[in-house]
Structure 1
Amino acid sequence: MDLDDASGKRKVPNVQARSAMLTGALIVGMCLGVIVSEKLYLITQEADLPEGAVAAVRSRKLEVQASAGTAVRRSTGKPRSELEEILQRVAPQGEVMIAISNMNLIHEQSLVMWLECVQRIEGLTNWLIVAIDEQLAAYCKEKGINHYYRPVVIPDSQKDTGSNHAISAMKYEIIREFLQLGWDVLLSDVDIATLQNPFDHLYRDSDVEGMTDGFDPLTAYGEIYGIDDATMGWSRYAQGTRHMAFNSGLFFIRANDKTIDLLTRIADKLSKQKEWDQSVWNEFIFFLSHGDYKSPQIIPRVMDYMKFMNTKVLFKQVRHMPKDQQPKPVMVHSNYHPDKSDRLRAIIAHYIKGDEHALDKFPGGSEPGS
């Protein structure tokens, strides 16, 4: 029996077929568009990254956070200051690793060891010593070391805290000057052994990537813990969250309005109150907005504690692992032990000079037998 054309019944299969074809073509087009867009995205990211970070970009798509701070644009024209001229020359891609120091840390050898590590890494050229006294600036100039002379005046609130803590408290306003020019900063204390190019191991999806004082996944990355208050009866059990502090001696901070606000608040508080800068650093990063207080609302990321390693992890755990299971750290911060220089020297001997027994003589903690 013939179908009635006027009813449209014969046209239905044809319309359905055309619709299926159009839908299929649309899906294929969308897939091709995504692939092409991603390739273009990676190419533009590679162009903006320092040499050595390309592999990191190819291994993961960098995410743009909707709530991240508004980036500060850096100038590529005529430099407006001595610092900008140095940065354009030393770190033209917009990322720089800095160590802030005075001449005392040359005499103590820690800055000498810091330089020994950094200068041996192929492709790592975007680093800078911020010399805060004339003696170190002259030393760097004589030795041909990348440096920026930036004298400081220690505020009254920090004068009795010891030279290292006083310098540490001053670093936030120094780093802010870099951010205001549009440069992202990887801050490294001088009691750190750099073993690989750290820029190859950053994610760049957060405002701050910070080294942790944690020593396992729970203390480093966070945990839910329980509270038991028997006096509450039915509701005696409650939960909280916690993790170990970010170390204020090793972090990567991006140049944007939120991070500049963060450093401004920290510098202001430390100029008025006698407090440990690491406590203030963590307070402004992690304390929640409440009442009339609004936090800087930066996005933090904790660094891999087996790559950006503290010496508790190294001396209590890693060195006791089977050799084929030991991770190779990117940077090791000699922060958990008072004999910093001796341990730093041993770390360099072990990882750079190949002395398998260089770490053996040290206890895990600060006391013999620990």
Structure 2
Amino acid sequence: MAGRKEKIQPFHGCGIAIAILVGIVIGCVCTVLLPNDFFKSGSLKVASASCERVKMFKAEFAIISEKNAELSKQVSELTEKVRLAEQKTEIKAGPFGTVTGLQTNPTVVPDESVNPRLAKLLEKVAVNKEIIVVLANNNVKPMLEVQTASVKRVGIQNYLVIPLDDSIESFCRSNEVAYFKRDPDNAIDVVGKSGSGSAVSGLKFRVLREFLQLGYGVLLADVDLVFLQNPFGHLYRDSDVESMSDGHDNNTAYGFNDVFDDPSMTRSRTVYTTRIWVFNSGFFYLRPTLPSIELLDRVTDTLSKSGGWDQAVFNEHLFYPSHPGYIGLHASKRAMDIYEFMNSRVLFKTVRKNEELKKLKPVIVHMNYHSDKLERMQAAVEFYVNGKQDALDSFSDGS
């Protein structure tokens, strides 16, 4: 019997140790899984926190669902617009006499990143996403004074000066004329501050690009013109480029057949040619389209590499057709009414000598043909604004 007890006692001690160990393990597990122990109050706190999380997730889900619905709506609308656009490109020719081609290119998507500072200014100054832009340095300050006075007289709000030196900036500030001072650029500033009229004229093609990229229609105006009406009420906006003409009558301004005669060709000595007098690069309107931006790029590139007169280069790129070695610019064009957007040749050679035409009030008068620009600008104001009937009489026809 004593021997049997010696065998049983060790086994009994091990069982007790194992039980204690199991109890400790279970206690640890419960401590990890249920940190608030087994009391009822702890369980209620866990349940309450879980409910709050569920409510928060439901609220976030509702917001995401609402945003998703809005995005789905926008996607549907864009899909429909794309579908309609695709339908418009699939056009069948209608009956004789009803077919017209599209001449208005779509506007570019505005990109404010090209010049955020200018974008903010244009939001305040522009009207209906359109702006008049004028470049000026101190050399033309007297003419700018006459022009800005005419702008205020007519009540044009969307007029913006690009001062090319400190003098013009000071003038604009003191006379409450909207202006935009460009970021420093040595290459441009040298031309702007000390350049001649022709150099500054060529500079404008480079400056205008950002306005178009921002999605604004731009009416470029030289300083040697007077505003007599608001020009935006007289634009058609059906072309990429809408420009005043250097022509002096309907034929020269809008186009005519000109016969070239070569007697050496005997029976085929006459050849009919089509001619038009150039568009004036001192007053033109550009819609914010890719062809308009391409025009500015081409003119800027040509002037920087080959030089030349900016107006000649402007017209070459507008009118030269594609031919071997050259791809023409595909931009739609409109010539402005020569009696509304009047050049000084029309005014001094024709209008002032015709009693009926003298009764017309032009939108602008541009002294592009004459060198005594300031005096003729002042005379135009006397005639059309102050009613002095002999204000134009003392000037010669030519410059």
Give the TM-score, by structure 1 length: 0.75
Residues 1:66 and 2:99 are matched in the alignment: no
Task: Assess, with a 3 A threshold, how the Cα gap between structure 1 residues 153 and 313 changes in structure 2: closer, same or farther.
Answer: farther
- 1:143 matched to which residue of 2? 175
Q: 2 CA distance for matches of 1:172 and 1:325?
A: 34
Match for residue 194 of structure 1 among 223, 227, 230? 227
Residues 1:95 and 2:102 are matched in the alignment: no
Secondary structure of the structure 2 residue equivalent to 1:289: coil
The letter of the residue matching 2:396 is: P
Name the stretch that deviates more: 322-331 or 186-195. Answer: 322-331
CA contact (8 A) 1:194 1:330 kept: yes
Alignment of 1:64-143 (within 5 A): 66-74=102-110, 81-106=116-141, 109-122=142-155, 124-143=156-175
The letter of the residue matching 2:117 is: E
Where structure 2 has 5 or more consecutive residues not aligned to the other structure, the ranges are 1-99
- 1:51 matched to which residue of 2? none
Cα displacement string for residues 240-270 of structure 1 (whole angstroms, at most 9, x for unaligned residues): 1001111110001111111111100111111
Task: Assess, with a 3 A threshold, how the Cα gap between structure 1 residues 154 and 344 changes in structure 2: closer, same or farther.
Answer: farther
Query: C-alpha displacement at 1:79, in angstroms?
Result: 9.9
Q: 2 CA distance for matches of 1:307 and 1:157?
A: 36
- 2:281 matched to which residue of 1? 248
Task: Assess, with a 3 A threshold, how the Cα gap between structure 1 residues 284 and 339 changes in structure 2: closer, same or farther.
Answer: same
Cα displacement string for residues 175-213 of structure 1 (whole angstroms, at most 9, x for unaligned residues): 111101110100110100110010111000001011111
Match for residue 337 of structure 1 among 370, 377, 383? 370
Q: 1 CA distance for matches of 2:160 and 2:204?
A: 14
CA contact (8 A) 1:179 1:185 kept: yes
Q: 2 CA distance for matches of 1:79 and 1:172?
A: 16
Query: C-alpha displacement at 1:338, in angstroms?
Result: 1.1
- 2:319 matched to which residue of 1? 286
CA contact (8 A) 2:245 2:279 kept: yes
Higher helix share: 2
Q: 2 CA distance for matches of 1:112 and 1:131?
A: 13
CA contact (8 A) 2:114 2:210 kept: no
Query: C-alpha displacement at 1:324, in angstroms?
Result: 7.0
Aligned residues: 298
Where structure 1 has 5 or more consecutive residues not aligned to the other structure, the ranges are 1-63
Match for residue 334 of structure 2 among 287, 295, 301? 301
Compute the RMSD of aligned alpha carbons. 2.4
Query: C-alpha displacement at 1:154, in angstroms?
Result: 5.0
- 1:3 matched to which residue of 2? none
Match for residue 322 of structure 1 among 331, 338, 355? 355
Cα displacement string for residues 116-153 of structure 1 (whole angstroms, at most 9, x for unaligned residues): 1011113x211111112233223322332100112564
Task: Assess, with a 3 A threshold, how the Cα gap between structure 1 residues 323 and 74 changes in structure 2: closer, same or farther.
Answer: same
The letter of the residue matching 2:120 is: E
Q: 2 CA distance for matches of 1:252 and 1:98?
A: 10
Identity across matched positions, percent: 41
CA contact (8 A) 1:157 1:272 kept: no
Cα displacement string for residues 320-357 of structure 1 (whole angstroms, at most 9, x for unaligned residues): 11157632111000111111111111011111122111
CA contact (8 A) 2:114 2:213 kept: no
Secondary structure of the structure 1 residue equivalent to 2:154: coil
Q: Who wins on radius of gyration, i.e. which is larger?
A: 2
Task: Assess, with a 3 A threshold, how the Cα gap between structure 1 residues 131 and 155 changes in structure 2: closer, same or farther.
Answer: closer
Secondary structure of the structure 1 residue equivalent to 2:233: helix
Task: Return the structure number with greater relative CO, CA threshold 8 A, min gap 6.
Answer: 1
Q: 2 CA distance for matches of 1:262 and 1:324?
A: 35
